[in-house]
Amino acid sequence: MISQDEAIELFKFAPKESFELLLRNIEIRKILEDLWEKHQSGAIRYDESFEKIYEEFSKFFYRPIEISVFGIRQLNYLFPFVDLMRILESQNEFLDTYCEFLSSFFSHLKLLSEIYFTSTTSEPVKSVLDRFLDHYADLIKSCSSEFMKADLLHEYPLILPKKVFEYLENAINSWRNFSEFFRSYRDLRKQAFVTAAERFIEIANSKKFSNFFDFLNTFLNEEVKEFENLLSSKKYVEIQKNMVESLMDYLYYFRRFYEGIAENNPLNPFATVSQMDEAFKRIFDLKRRINELEKKLDSIEKGVQK
């Protein structure tokens, strides 16, 4: 129906969403054509073919959830967590020991060579840049004093304000709520799909469709009817509302948690989006005041001209 090369070309020119939906519909078409063949030679039944159609039909709508899950995985690598801190600390000890070993091994070799040659070699003349780099390296080395090695990092929950942990707790609770509502939401939609598919199977098994397009349209019409009933039902609207709200709470609280970590790091050189948001709010308030003043000036000028 459409080759791989053609699909790649199509991706260049079609909107991303149209491209995805078209590819999914090509899969749906193949499955329906197989079902059509089965229908011509006998009865059809609800089997994995319908499950595959449902999967292709639904995936597009579950994108926000994929983004949320992916988002937290990304952030987990950027922000220090207890487990990660412990790994870093144990690795750090290992690296320090290795550095100490290399340093003493180097001193040992240097001393040995001096004894062997009975004289020390003269220092090579260094360029200004090399001297600067040596000086800079010494400066950085002097930073890692004993004081900096306090092994407290994995206790960082005690460093952060309590509010930050409330955000984390709220985020986890919201995700838990979301998971429950999402499961009910998914079940309702699936149930609607299955009910319509079974009704379609009953129709298909009780008569012979004259052509594939009648077969296809009857299937779609049954699904349309069932989904129309579902989407405005009280139960669906309630579950959808709870699902969206708990997902939004999860996104908000988790972001505030990460922002809390960043905002409480005195070395953090970046403003958080909430801080930026407050700044944008103030800019808009100022813009409105300027507009009002300009209008007043304009009307005063017009009054003077009259």
Partner 1 sequence: MIAEKIKNIKPGFCDYEVVHEDWIFKLLHYRGNPNYRTPVLICYAFINRPVILDLHEDVSVIKKMLEAGLDVWMIDWGYPSFADRHLKISDYIDYLDFCVDFVRKERKVDKLTLHGYCLGSTLAVIYSALYPEKIKNLIIQTPPINFDTKNTLAIWAKSIDPKKISRALFNATGDLLNIAFLLVDPVRLIVGKYQSLINSFDDEKSVKDFFFMDHWIFDSPSVAGDVFEEYIVRWYHRNEIMNNQYDVKGMPVDINKIDMPVLVLAAEKDHITPPESVIPFFEKIPSKDKKMLLSEKGHIGLSVSKTSHTKIWPEAIRWIIERS
CB atoms within 10 A of CB 53: 21
Only one of the segments 36-44, 83-91, 198-206, 284-292 lies at the binding site for partner 1 (rule: CB under 8 A); that segment is: 284-292
Distance CA 258, CA 252 (A): 10
Applying CB under 8 A, among 49, 57, 170, 264 the residue interacting with partner 1 is 57
Minimum CB distance to partner 1 smaller for 84 or for 272: 272
The torsion angles phi and psi of 130, rounded to 5 degrees, stand at: -65, -40
Only one of the segments 42-50, 53-61, 118-126, 131-139 lies at the binding site for partner 1 (rule: CB under 8 A); that segment is: 53-61
Number of residues that bind partner 1 (CB under 8 A): 54
Residue with tokens 């049954």: 222
Establish if 9 lies at the interface with partner 1 (CB under 8 A). Answer: yes
Q: Which of 233, 223, 224 is nearest to 195 (CA)?
A: 223
Report the amino acid identity of residue 174. S
Binding mask 259-278 for partner 1 (x = CB under 8 A): --------------x--xx-
Binding mask 218-257 for partner 1 (x = CB under 8 A): --x--xx--xx--xx----xx-xx--xx-xxx-xx--x--
Establish if 29 lies at the interface with partner 1 (CB under 8 A). Answer: yes
For the segment 157-216, give every residue that binds partner 1 (CB under 8 A): 213, 216
Contact between residue 193 and residue 223 where contact means Cβ atoms under 8 Å apart: yes
Distance CA 95, CA 87 (A): 12
Minimum CB distance to partner 1 smaller for 153 or for 262: 262
For 301, the token pair is: 């000028």
C-alpha separations of 37 from 220, 255, 306 in Å = 18, 52, 85
Establish if 1 lies at the interface with partner 1 (CB under 8 A). Answer: yes
- Packing angle, helices 212-231 and 16-41, rounded to 10: 120
Establish if 34 lies at the interface with partner 1 (CB under 8 A). Answer: no
Say how many CA atoms lie within 13 Å of 242 toward its Cβ.
15
Minimum CB distance to partner 1 smaller for 35 or for 247: 247
Contact between residue 230 and residue 188 where contact means Cβ atoms under 8 Å apart: yes
Applying CB under 8 A, among 208, 288, 289, 296 the residue interacting with partner 1 is 288
Residues making contact with partner 1 (CB under 8 A)? 1-2, 6, 9-10, 12-18, 21-22, 24-26, 28-29, 57, 60-61, 63-64, 213, 216, 220, 223-224, 227-228, 231-232, 237-238, 240-241, 244-245, 247-249, 251-252, 255, 273, 276-277, 280-281, 284-285, 288, 291
